[in-house]
Structure 1
Amino acid sequence: MNRPLLFIQGGGSAEDYEADKKLVESLQSTLSGAYEVHYPSLPNESAPDLGRIRQIGDAISRIDGELILVGHSLGASMLLKYVSENEIRKKITGIFLLATPFWSGDEAWKEGFKLKENFADQLPGDVPVFLYHCRDDQEVPLAHLTRYREKLPRATFRELASGGHQLNNDLTMVAKDILSLAGSAYF
């Protein structure tokens, strides 16, 4: 039986979903069928968090057993917010965050995205957290990764020389890290 993996898209438009589908396909291909990848479409709703917290909770509740969580961009930041602010009764075996914005500032529209000051203390202590970011990301500057390094000292950080915001649509490195958690010998 394949292990479940939930991938949360960045943005909320149909174009964002299609763009991230290439990331999902790369992950599925590299994982060689070891995981069943769940990739729900999460449209923007008229809520301060665009409906993501409820949508992520719904997606997690539909998956049986322990799972891997992966998010890209807005999806990564909202996944981190969800895990740090909600009780999850399923075993999470790893959290993988790609090109993750660190929301700050006083603009009202950011309030639904911002993490609580103590978010790192609220994450499950036994769950490995990985963050990936390309130095040439034009949408989420590398400075966001620096903020996460300050807040999440126990996390693993993968800073890539190039790949832009979409990591060249190549998640081979992420797949290798996922497989390493399970002790898989696919590579």
Structure 2
Amino acid sequence: MERQIIFLQGGGSKEDYEADQPLVDSLREHLVPGYDIHYPLLPDDGTPDLGRRSQIAAHIAASSDGVLLVAHSFGASMLLACLSEIEIQRKIGGIFLISTPFWEGNEDWVEPFKLRADFAGKLDRTIPLFFYHCLDDEEVPVEQLSVYEQELPWATFRKIPTGGHQLNNDLGIVAQDILAPI
């Protein structure tokens, strides 16, 4: 039986989905046979969080136990929000977050994307959790990673010297962690 991966897009548009397709392709190329990557288009449903929490929860619910969750940028931050706010019935095999923003500020548009103050305490510490962030990310400053380092000290953090927001469309480092025995 193939090991299931759900890859969650960054951004909120079809264009963002298409921009992340090379990340999915790279991950697929770096993995050995036996992995099935599900890459659902997550459309903006018009709700304040674009529907991400409920959409992500639905895709996880439709998966099999042991599913691996890989998410980029906005999708990564919304995956953390989903996992810390919604009771998930599936057993998750690992979480791999790429270029994850930490939403701050008082603007009305930011509020639906923010994590709750107690988000770290709501996450299952037994699930392997990885963060990847390039030091030269031009969209999500690497300083935002330090918030996650403080809040989630049990997680593994990979700081990559170069690659920008898209890690040069090369997810070899993510594939290595997926393939490593946990």
Q: Distance in 2 between matches of 1:41 and 1:110?
A: 22
Please give the root-mean-square deviation of Cα atoms over the aligned residues, in Å: 1.0
Tell me, in whole angstroms, the C-alpha distance in 1 between the residues paired with 2:180 and 2:34: 12
- Where does residue 66 of structure 2 map in the other structure? 66
1:18 partnered with 2:40: no
2:108 aligned residue? 108
Q: Hey, what does 2:41 align to over in structure 1?
A: 41
Q: Which residue does 1:82 correspond to in 2?
A: 82
2:158 aligned counterpart, secondary structure: strand
Aligned ranges for residues 121-136 of structure 1 at < 5 Å?
121-136=121-136
- Alignment partner of 2:44: what SS? coil
Structure 1 unaligned residues grouped into runs of 5+: 183-187
What percentage of aligned pairs have identical amino acids?
54
The unaligned stretches of length 5 or more in structure 2 are: none
Instruction: Report deviation, 1:147.
Output: 1.1
Equivalent position amino acid for 2:13 in 1: S
- Separation in structure 1 between the aligned mates of residue 15 and residue 90 of structure 2, nearest angstrom: 31
Structure 1 moving runs of 4+ over 6 Å: none
Q: Find the aligned partners of 1:10 and 1:128 in 2 and give their Cα distance.
A: 21
Q: Distance in 2 between matches of 1:44 and 1:138?
A: 24
Q: CA deviation at 1:14?
A: 1.6
TM-score (ref. length: structure 2): 0.97
User: Are residues 1:54 and 2:54 paired?
Assistant: yes
Q: Give the match's secondary structure for 2:109.
A: helix
Matched, 1:174 2:174: yes
CA distance in 2, matches of 1:12, 1:74: 8
CA distance in 2, matches of 1:139, 1:34: 33
